[in-house]
Amino acid sequence: MKVTMVVVLYKLKPEESKTFHTLKQIMNSTNSPLKDIELILYDNSPAKHDFTPPQIEGIHITYYHDPRNLGIASAYNYAWSAAKENNSQWLLLLDHDTELTLEYFKSILTIKDVPENVSAVVPKINSENTMISPVYSNSLRPLKEERPTPGVQNQPVMAINSGALISVAFLDEINGFNQDFALDYLDHWLFFKIYEKGRKVYLMDVELEHELSVMDYTRVSLQRYQSILNSEVNFYQNFKTDLLPKYRIQLVKRFFKQLLTVKNKEIAKQTLKKVFSL
């Protein structure tokens, strides 16, 4: 099975990335299962880092710098194009802060008997002893619900991008990653499309640790919150429309919470604007 992998970086040297650090350890190990692998380090940082890819037998590493910082969708689309040129069957998506393991790679590279309609293979992702991915996608508060168990997921699920192995043939079918979700909610959109097209997700019985990015209104900028909010509204208004009424109620509750607890009242104001726009 030929795989193209992409690690997306931002204002971080490759050596400072937990993902690349653990990946490099695995690639250098004597019992590494990684052979005939194409690895792309896609750097969205403003300035190019002085980095020379290490020479590892059987692994081809490319460092690509894009100062435009167009988000992860552009990075993934670049990697998708590279995967097709490399004749890879799968594209492995990786953030910069996922702790990879040898067990994980052995699992994804030795998977057998996965049905043809499976378009994504994902691990269990944990953060602070809590399984955060995948989750069932029929709820606005999935972390409060029961979690999926290993195997083919017949009920729609959503998984975070990092650690997900995506079929290149499926990406060809949906014409790659949606640029309307340049950064936020791209994972929601991708897994929605998988089930919309009648495909399935396979959950491996293997775990990875990932730093969960939780929105902290005391630190998030107004511009960043607007970006998240716009993507969120786009997803529920145009794709997961069955949850739109519940989402509207959730926004109202969020507005009152922000009004009471967030110092920057412009954030609450933006939430209220979205409530009336739905």
Output the pLDDT for position 1.
80
Please spell the DSSP secondary structure of 38-64, one letter per residue.
Answer: EEEEEE--SS--------BTTEEEEEE
For 124-166, the pLDDT digits (tens) are 999 888 899 999 999 998 888 899 999 999 999 999 999 999 9
Q: What angle do CA 170, 171, 177 make, to 5 degrees?
A: 145
Q: How confident is the model at residue 219 (pLDDT cuts 50, 70, 90)?
A: confident
Quick one: pLDDT at residue 214?
59
CATH 3.90.550.10 fits 3-210, yes or no: yes
Q: Where are the domains of the chain?
A: 3-210, 222-277
**Nearest CA-CA partner of 105 in 14, 19, 17, 13:** 19
Phi then psi for residue 202, to 5 deg, are -110, 125
What percentage of residues in the chain have a pLDDT greater than 70? Answer: 98
User: Coil, strand, or helix at residue 117?
Assistant: coil
> φ, ψ for residue 162 (rounded to 5)?
-65, 125
Nearest to 94 by CA among 228, 157, 187: 187
According to DSSP, the β-strands at 37-43 and 59-65 are: parallel
Other beta carbons within 10 angstroms of residue 189's beta carbon come to: 23
Give the DSSP per-residue string, 237-259: HHTSGGGHHHHHHHHHHHHHHHH
pLDDT band at 109 (very low <50, low <70, confident <90, very high): confident
pLDDT tens digits for range 16-32: 999 999 999 998 887 78
